[in-house]
Amino acid sequence: MHKVLIVEDAADLREAVAQALFQQGYRVKTAAHGVEAIRVGSRFRPEALVADWMLGGRIDGLAVAEALRVVQPALATVLISGYVSRDLEERAWAKGVPHLLKKPFTLAELQRVLRDALATASPQRRLLPVAALEIDADGAITFLNEAARALFRHVQGHIVSTRLESHFRGGIDLAAADHGWVNGVLDAPEPGRWSLSAHLDPSDGSRILLLHPAGAEHVRELARVRQLLGREPDPTGTVLAPLHVLVVDADPYARHRMTGALRAAGAICHGAANSAEADRLFAGDAEIGLVLLDLDGPPTARHALLKSFAAAGRHALLIGTSDRTTAPETAGPAVRHVIPKSWQLEDLIDILREN
């Protein structure tokens, strides 16, 4: 039966989904956050991922899917969220993830969407020039993706017993690869220079190893590569975690820039293009503590939204954003600060510290 990884930070829901899918015959593993999901998933190599979109920290459900697709390019992915917005749908579609399930959902709905995802899963058209291997404590090699199998095509068999060092001229320093990138020349009929880096699992001595050819050094800075190698910050150590933020701006470029910067800093972030969507998201997520509100749009819609926020009786810091100089009094008394849309993260942090 299919292997499924479930990623959900709410323990009750995580275990309920895991138990339900297990009873349906799926092989199941679980994770509570993005870092754990990537560590577990890179070794479990699931055929399907069921992940909460808005996990705390810098690694959300979609980022988990992107990282695991390096080792499983045809990974079927179902994202679940209680706060589905147009921005989230567009972001998922752009990454090749059309299966989005809104909380709360029934088991029958999950099973249907999961079956559809598995039936339509296919590799991404543009694959990274990265070969992925797993090496156990005894040195046995498992090829995790097609790039690895192609790279070692001179070695017969899917799993080989020889040590990796023997396939490189002059050997390779795996201990050094645990902490960075090292270079080596593959001992093959068509030798070439490759760089490799590893993530050691101290619990069993196994390693996930990534290799890229000379000239592809840009892949080292990709988030999915760094995350597979365990080199992204822990979710509990990010600047804005676990702050929930709502960004309201009709300009998609400005909205996506702001939500991207906030997610990178660890915030749980919603984006809304209009007042109606903002009102719905604010009502749906009781933990929203910060709202960034566009002050350049129609004042009537803005004032109606502020009135709705006030009627909710919740405390949330309202910060206005504008491309022009806007006096705070024109924004309304509820808007405590006004900052340019080109704000830097440090500007936002300074305001949060003051409040």
DSSP bridge pairs for 321: 294, 339
The verdict on residue 14 lying in a domain is yes
pLDDT of residue 239: 66
> How big is the CA angle at 280 (ends 275 and 285), to the nearest 5 degrees?
125
Residue 99: predicted pLDDT: 92
Based on the fold, state whether residues 341 and 264 are members of the same structural domain: yes
pLDDT of residue 191: 63
Indicate whether 125 belongs to any domain: no
Q: Are residues 65 and 147 in the same domain?
A: no
Which residues of the chain fall short of a pLDDT of 70? 56-58, 124-126, 154-162, 188-191, 232-239, 241, 325-333
**What is the CB neighbour count within 10 angstroms for residue 8?**
24
Classify residue 227: in a domain, yes or no: no
Apex CA 210: angle with CA 127 and CA 95, to 5°? 30
What pLDDT is attached to residue 154? 60
Q: Tell whether 339 and 256 lie within a shared domain.
A: yes
Residues 137 and 97 in one domain: no
- Determine the structural domain holding residue 53 and report its residue range: 3-120
For 151-176, the pLDDT digits (tens) are 877 654 444 445 777 778 777 888 89
The CATH number linked to 151 is 3.30.450
**Which residues, 6+ apart, have CB-to-CB distance to 219 below 8 Å?**
128, 129, 130, 212, 225
Please, where are the H alpha helices in 60-133? Answer: 61-68, 86-94, 107-120
Structural domains in the chain (count): 3
Q: Which residue has the tokens 């080109």?
A: 342
Do 83 and 153 lie in a common domain? no
CB atoms within 10 A of CB 84: 19
- CA 63, CA 41: separation in Å to the nearest integer? 13
- Residues 74, 113 within the same domain: yes
Choose one of 171, 192, 221: the last residue of a domain: 221
Say which CATH number the domain at 64 has.
3.40.50.2300
Task: Tell which of 120, 154, 176 closes a domain.
Answer: 120
Half-sphere exposure of 194 (CA within 13 A, CB side): 28
87, 22: one domain: yes
Answer whether residue 126 is part of any domain.
no
- The answer to the question of residue 215 being in a domain is yes
Phi–psi pair at 36, nearest 5 degrees: -65, -40
Q: 113 and 192: one domain?
A: no
pLDDT digits (tens, 9 = 90+) for 205-257: 899 999 999 889 999 988 899 999 988 654 444 567 678 899 999 988 889 88
Asked if 136 and 90 sit in the same domain, the reply is no
Please state the three-class secondary structure of 271-328 as a single string: EECCHHHHHHHHHHCCCEEEEEEECCCCHHHHHHHHHHHHHCCCCCEEEEEECCCCCH
Last residue of one domain, picked from the residues 221, 250, 265 = 221
Q: How far apart are CA 270 and CA 246, in angstroms?
A: 5
Separation CA 179–CA 219 (nearest Å): 16
CB 208 within 8 A of CB 228: yes
The answer to whether residues 138 and 203 belong to one domain is yes
230/207 Cα distance (integer angstroms): 11
Angle at CA 99, nearest 5°, toward 94 and 104? 125
* Cis before 242? omega within 30: yes
Please give the pLDDT value at position 327: 52
Does 213 lie in the same domain as 290? no
* Res 329: pLDDT: 52
Query: Quick check: is 262 in a domain?
Result: yes
Is residue 195 located within the same domain as residue 142? yes
The predicted pLDDT at position 189 comes to 62
Residue 232 lies in a domain: no
